[in-house]
């Protein structure tokens, strides 16, 4: 036992224990020297009253073992606690989500024969998944989209290093930088600065909606796609659908210290315990895990056995042909074990090397500007009347102030000073104040004094300083703003 690699295993909820159990049985049959340390998270833990869904003994096990094989976890939808899946990724800074989608022999889809073999490398802890939300007014909700230069650099370098580890030829960066020029644009800028360090790999940028279009139209043009968290969540499910669905979709969540391997499909509680589910996604996630810990031969042995079994039609589980006539989970698992040592005729395993995870400085101040100054503030105000009445009131309030009201916007569109057209407005107004002296910089005391003046007559809920960084605006303009 002392020579065995100890790995934390989280069976999960619903069908999770059956999927994870199948993967463990196959790994054991392949003779891999692993000891499994079982811990729990997700729905059963939420029911114990633990708000995070991740108990202390699970956290300690992961810290100690550093590698996790995990089944799907149940999470409340639209209410209650945060996802235990997201909690685990954040707790252990598994910032890179790797989602391969490759055509399977014997799994017929509208794309069969196209040779699809694409990997989505998704940033895994930032973006809207930071989960920072507020009700700004009783009828307007806000979610903060946080993208950092450090996070972008980590995921971009991981994408290129992954491409090298698998001998892939290209990395495309997919963003919505045409609309979100600062957040999504930061990933695009970082990608374009780092790409020249990898001259052996072709690189290009693509707008995410066009990327989705192209994935449906001509998916074989892509090799590796790196993208932000929300975009990656969506298009990785899309690519899974191209090759057979989530039942065939493995995932690795990689960090510099911890790695978590899981299927991305749900816990499907109505099928739990019925021996009808497709464990392929978890089995192939376990294959990715084996490569991560250096068990390359065992990983290829199991991967080949899975492909032989699928090629022979023994993987026709309920999600593929219907739960009333699909193969039993236990039968499929045993067929894979029986096929250990065989190779498929229509599929060839890729050569793999260890992924060199990026070594990024831990200093939180990752970007040090040469200069910066505050030139004003956006104050967000709740106001039940129209833009003109709010604008006139604010103009009056700051008449003798260091600041002037430059404009008011509503949901991103300028509404004051009044233009030719007026959009349908809500009671959430961004009021932009700038220094009257454009050459000066505002002190914290001046901004606080402005806020206090506005608060004498108006209910504000949020304020953002307007920064110039290295002489460039650190903020966007409203639609229609001069």
Catalytic residues: 129, 176, 209, 233
CA-nearest of 335, 248, 349 to 304 is 349
Phi, psi of 415 (to 5 degrees): -125, -5
b/e per residue, 275-312, with b = 16+ CB within 10 A? ebbbbbbbbbbbbbbbbbbebeebbbbbbbbbbbbbbe
- The dihedrals phi and psi of 113, each to the nearest 5 degrees, come to 90, -5
- What are the start-end ranges of the H helices in 144-182? 149-165
Strand order, beta sheet including 372-382: 413-416, 403-410, 428-435, 372-382, 459-469, 472-473
The answer to whether 121 and 225 are in contact (CB under 8 A) is: yes
* Cα-to-chain-centroid distance, residue 263: 14
Q: Return d(Cα 152, Cα 121) in angstroms, integer.
A: 12
E-only strand ranges, 144-265: 170-175, 202-207, 224-227, 250-254, 259-263
E strands, 402-458, are 403-410, 413-416, 428-435
Cβ neighbours for 95, distance < 8 A, ≥ 6 positions apart: 123, 124, 125, 126, 151, 154, 155, 158, 254, 255
């Amino acid at each position: 036992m002392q020579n065995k690699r100890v790995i934390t295993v989280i069976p999960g909820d619903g069908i999770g224990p059956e999927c994870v159990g199948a993967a463990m049985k196959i790994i054991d049959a392949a003779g891999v020297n692993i000891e499994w340390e079982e811990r729990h998270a997700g729905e059963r833990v939420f029911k114990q009253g633990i708000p995070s869904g991740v108990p202390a003994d699970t956290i300690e096990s992961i810290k100690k073992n550093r590698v996790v094989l995990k089944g799907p976890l149940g999470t409340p939808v639209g209410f209650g606690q945060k996802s235990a899946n997201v909690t685990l990724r954040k707790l252990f800074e598994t910032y890179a989500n790797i989602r391969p989608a490759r055509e399977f022999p014997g799994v017929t889809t509208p794309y069969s024969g196209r040779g699809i073999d694409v990997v989505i490398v998704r940033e895994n802890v930032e973006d809207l998944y930071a989960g920072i939300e507020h009700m700004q007014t009783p009828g307007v909700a806000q979610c903060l989209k946080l993208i950092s230069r450090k996070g972008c650099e980590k995921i971009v370098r991981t994408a290129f290093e992954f491409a090298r580890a698998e001998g892939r030829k290209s990395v495309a960066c997919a963003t919505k930088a045409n609309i979100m020029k600062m957040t999504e644009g930061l990933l695009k800028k970082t990608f374009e600065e780092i790409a020249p360090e990898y001259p052996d790999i072709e690189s290009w940028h693509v707008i995410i909606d066009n990327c989705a279009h192209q994935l449906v139209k001509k998916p074989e043009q892509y090799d590796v796609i790196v993208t932000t968290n929300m975009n990656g969540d969506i298009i990785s499910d899309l690519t899974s659908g191209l090759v057979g669905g989530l039942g065939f979709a493995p995932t690795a969540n990689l960090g510099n210290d911890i790695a978590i391997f899981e299927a991305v499909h749900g816990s499907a509680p109505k099928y739990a315990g019925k021996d009808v589910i497709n464990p392929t996604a978890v089995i192939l996630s376990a294959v990715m895990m084996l490569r991560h810990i250096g068990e390359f031969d065992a990983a290829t042995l199991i991967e080949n056995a899975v492909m032989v079994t699928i090629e022979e039609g023994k993987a026709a589980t309920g999600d593929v042909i219907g739960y009333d006539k699909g193969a039993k989970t236990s039968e499929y698992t045993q067929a894979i074990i029986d096929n250990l040592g065989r190779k498929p005729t229509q599929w060839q395993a890729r050569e793999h090397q260890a992924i060199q995870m990026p070594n990024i400085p831990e200093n939180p101040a990752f970007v040090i500007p040469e200069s910066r100054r505050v030139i004003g503030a956006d104050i967000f105000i709740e106001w039940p009347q129209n833009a003109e009445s709010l604008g006139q009131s604010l103009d009056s309030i700051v008449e003798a102030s260091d600041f002037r009201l430059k404009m008011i916007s509503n949901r991103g569109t300028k509404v004051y000073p009044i233009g030719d057209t007026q959009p349908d407005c809500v009671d959430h107004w961004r009021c932009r104040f700038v220094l009257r002296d454009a050459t000066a910089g505002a002190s914290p005391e001046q901004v606080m004094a402005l806020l206090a003046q506005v608060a004498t007559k108006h209910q504000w809920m949020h304020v953002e300083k307007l920064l110039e960084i290295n002489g460039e605006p650190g903020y966007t303009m409203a639609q229609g703003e001069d």
